[in-house]
Structure 1
Amino acid sequence: MNSGDKSNKKFPDFREIGIIPALLKILDANSITRPTPIQHQAIGMVLEGKDMIGIAQTGTGKTFAFGLPMLQQLAAGKKRGLIILPTRELAYQVEDALKPYANALGIKTAVFVGGASMQLQRQMIKQNPRILIATPGRLNDHLQKRTVSLKEVEILVLDEADRMLDMGFKPQINKILEHVPRERQTLLFSATMAQEIVQLATAQMRMPLRIEVAPTGTTAEKVEQELIIVRQQNKLTLLKSLLKEHSGQVLVFSRTKHGARKVTRALNEDKFHAAEIHSNKSLVQRRKSLEGFKKGTYRILVATDIASRGIDVTNIALVINYDLPDDPIDYIHRIGRTGRAEREGLAISFATPTQARNIRDIERLIRAPIPRRQHESLTPVSMENGPDTSQRHRRSSGRRPAQRSSGSRKPRRDSSRNSRPKKSLGKRKFKRK
């Protein structure tokens, strides 16, 4: 079964798709009355115990699509659920979203990620949590030390599976799956249906149903996109000009940790109130920056791609790609951070004159041109026809671009460990100061 996006239909409320009163009460208290497209399609299937593949971008409501029916099944007698995700930020984000509902049912949750105390996590295991939320690296640590058992897992969720495979965690995932009972329900969520995802589903799932709320490569409907051609040395000046023009919270993406530090320092020198989040920051520092951004202590958050996966803030007004991503799919993930919860958003990307190929790759993926814009603070710049020097920059940066082949690859360092983790868009009006 392959269900398409039925986003134009008015969906029934959560009661009509089988959610129990205890969970409905909390949904109502949070003014959440109707499911998103993926929640509408997935919840019934999950409650029926079916294996499922969900193809959806970030910001579509995936967490409740698997989390609410998982909680409901555990309340009905299933023993334990396991949620595996690529980064520690995302793990905490999922726990924060599900915890009020779990508490209402008397179900304990536990997060196992790197950067946190192994001893504390061992104590959490003794409290018999019914839902384990973990990143591949730290969960493997516990399995190797035999401090956790997965024998009672009856519902397994692989969230952002494509990202985990891109980050090189296939061996860790396979090792985890060896410890999970074969007789289980498996739910896999991914932004793309790459060949590796197909292979994983074929090997580990039982006749999975597939739902897709947006075709692979589509971008958020409510996000206006703009592209500004700018020389590298003028990017910081342009960024500051844009921040003065636009109100609201802003998420800025840098390709490297060094770049994120440099941009954050420069913004704070000019009193812009910025925080940074990247894999050189400790778990405590990253959570503090993210919480400060959510609460409005910081108006601007500067992030790298690997560190940004747990950022789920509904009121981000503007996303700025200070650097274009190495992998075009990251462009979709980045701009999907704005335009959430029926709000309109704006995404502005900076490209240097030598990045014509990078732009073509992104536009080919999203199947639409990105409108060009000239900013008044800049001297007009044209694209160059010479070689794309961004490739040379990548090689010298020490970071390998994401690969999508099905062959073996060297894992990136796990951000979960104690280390550094078709729809064409028309022009939409965006309110400026």
Structure 2
Amino acid sequence: MILCTNSEISSFFAGESVVCRCMHNSPIPSPQSPGFRELGVDAKFLSILENKKILKPTPIQHQAIPPALEGKDLIGIAQTGTGKTFAFGLPMLQRLSAGKKRGLIILPTRELAYQVEDALRPFAMTCGIRMAVFVGGASMHLQRKMLRDNPRIIVATPGRLNDHLEKRTVTLREVEVLVLDEADRMLDMGFKPQIDRILSHVPRERQTLLFSATMPQNIVQLATAQMHLPLRIEVAPAGTAASKVEQEVIIVRQQEKGVLLQSLLKDYTGQVLVFSRTKHGAKKITRTLNEGHFKAAEIHANRSLSQRRAALEGFKRGNHRVLVATDIASRGIDVTGIELVVNYDLPDDPSDYVHRIGRTGRAEREGRAISFATPTQARNIRDIEKLIRGPLKRRQHASLPPVHMEEATTGGGGGGGGRYRTKRSGSRRPQRGGAQGNRYRGGGGRNRRRG
């Protein structure tokens, strides 16, 4: 945890160089580090954690829970799979259980919303706190009916919550604890206008917990405008890839990627997550794998909510060995024990690389990530290496003829070649998603269905 004085925090957000006192020199707590009880977690939560065999806090939980319980604003820089949900969820529930106020969790995708609600539900039940998930693709009418159950915590995606704000079916006047999870991803997906509107509806006097895998300038600006002297907790430098993931790049021609993927699936025995740049590509990869007798499912924006949930559940249960996903649809994939992540196409943005490979090597397990790069994508690889602050091992694969990287200064190449854009073009349409509540409940408005 980084603790700064008021002037140091102001200087930090102004973009000046600041040296702050480091409360924990190592991101990994020692075996003598406090358990959940010593962090101040309520006794009624401890038995649930023990039943789940969660006995030792992760680094982000170790550093975030105590100040969050004190009501401080936090910026948590941590990768996926590091235990962020309990880092913000347990303090939120514990604080709300002492009063009658509300909590609001905003995150980028439907899958992540259901994942967070599923993880926190047992703890909420012990407090008598109802939770509700409001996302796009689900019935607005049913979401309005859920308000009758008086949920005190809403888990929402920005688009659907804005739908309710526009229709005045929800009010956020009593929100006491606000969580922005995977904030960098939400801004990257174009949700800045929706987030701004949500923030204009919640009280200024509130606790805000912001979690992000990276710390781009737009996150700094958001924190400057919306948070009160936040503590910055950084369990790994922003943009750092998961520490237990072995990473490498295989140089391959675009037309040979399919053969290479099937060869890799024969080299490994566990579950595999494959990333495609496009919905069409994900569909084609899935069809080819199933034709090759590899059990594969797909998850992308062209699939309905029920189809995406069925694919994810089938992957979790082991009915599908391979899950093929696009970046947007992959948020919320929380499956323990994924052996291999394959970047069939390099991502459009280097920061997506960090999010992708964070799906393996979770919960202190080891993992592996293999990226396919075409010969003209040298610059793309260098941009990723710059972000993760280290080199990626390049190699050939024995099943294919040798091919070498073209170290040209111009971009291009199949499967996402060319230089990365420093800013999103805005061509991606923000995914719709949302939330409601009883005291969240607003006025009337004609019902409509979206997505």
TM-score norm. by structure 1 comes to: 0.92
For residues 411 and 334 of structure 1, do their structure 2 counterparts lie closer, same or farther at Cα, with a shift above 3 Å needed?
closer
For residues 419 and 343 of structure 1, do their structure 2 counterparts lie closer, same or farther at Cα, with a shift above 3 Å needed?
farther
- Check conservation: 2:335, 2:359, Cα contact below 8 A: yes
CA distance in 2, matches of 1:112, 1:163: 19
- In the other structure, the counterpart of 2:12 is none
- Check conservation: 2:137, 2:304, Cα contact below 8 A: yes
- In the other structure, the counterpart of 2:433 is 416
- In the other structure, the counterpart of 1:306 is 328
Query: Residue type of the partner of 1:327?
Result: D
Gaps of 5+ in 2: 5-21, 435-448
- In the other structure, the counterpart of 2:167 is 145
For residues 189 and 285 of structure 1, do their structure 2 counterparts lie closer, same or farther at Cα, with a shift above 3 Å needed?
same
2:360 is aligned with 1:343: no
The residue correspondences of 1:39-78 to structure 2 (distance < 5 A) are 39-78=61-100
- Check conservation: 2:375, 2:403, Cα contact below 8 A: yes
Cα offset for 1:367?
A: 1.5
- In the other structure, the counterpart of 2:412 is 389
- In the other structure, the counterpart of 2:271 is 249
- In the other structure, the counterpart of 1:322 is 344
Which secondary structure does the structure 2 equivalent of 1:364 belong to? helix
Cα offset for 1:296?
A: 0.4
**CA RMSD, aligned part only?**
2.0
CA distance in 1, matches of 2:416, 2:319: 34
- In the other structure, the counterpart of 1:22 is 44
Pairs aligned (count): 414
Cα offset for 1:322?
A: 0.6
- In the other structure, the counterpart of 1:260 is 282
The residue correspondences of 1:278-293 to structure 2 (distance < 5 A) are 278-293=300-315
2:294 is aligned with 1:272: yes
- In the other structure, the counterpart of 1:205 is 227
Gaps of 5+ in 1: 421-433
CA distance in 2, matches of 1:121, 1:390: 45
Q: Which is bigger in relative contact order (C-alpha 8 A, separation at least 6)? A: 2
Cα offset for 1:342?
A: 2.0
- Check conservation: 1:83, 1:158, Cα contact below 8 A: yes
Query: Residue type of the partner of 1:360?
Result: R
Cα displacement string for residues 150-173 of structure 1 (whole angstroms, at most 9, x for unaligned residues): 111100001111111111111111
- Check conservation: 2:117, 2:155, Cα contact below 8 A: yes
Query: Residue type of the partner of 1:255?
Result: R
- In the other structure, the counterpart of 1:111 is 133
User: Identity of counterpart residues, as a percentage?
Assistant: 71
Which secondary structure does the structure 2 equivalent of 1:255 belong to? coil
Cα offset for 1:217?
A: 2.2
TM-score norm. by structure 2 comes to: 0.88
- In the other structure, the counterpart of 1:85 is 107
CA distance in 2, matches of 1:51, 1:385: 45
Cα offset for 1:412?
A: 2.7
- Check conservation: 1:70, 1:81, Cα contact below 8 A: yes
Query: Residue type of the partner of 1:88?
Result: R
CA distance in 2, matches of 1:186, 1:255: 33
Which secondary structure does the structure 2 equivalent of 1:310 belong to? coil
For residues 62 and 148 of structure 1, do their structure 2 counterparts lie closer, same or farther at Cα, with a shift above 3 Å needed?
same
Query: Residue type of the partner of 1:9?
Result: S
Query: 83-92 vs 8-17, which deviates more?
Result: 8-17
Which secondary structure does the structure 2 equivalent of 1:100 belong to? helix
- Check conservation: 1:413, 1:419, Cα contact below 8 A: no
Cα offset for 1:42?
A: 0.6
2:183 is aligned with 1:166: no
Cα offset for 1:6?
A: 2.7
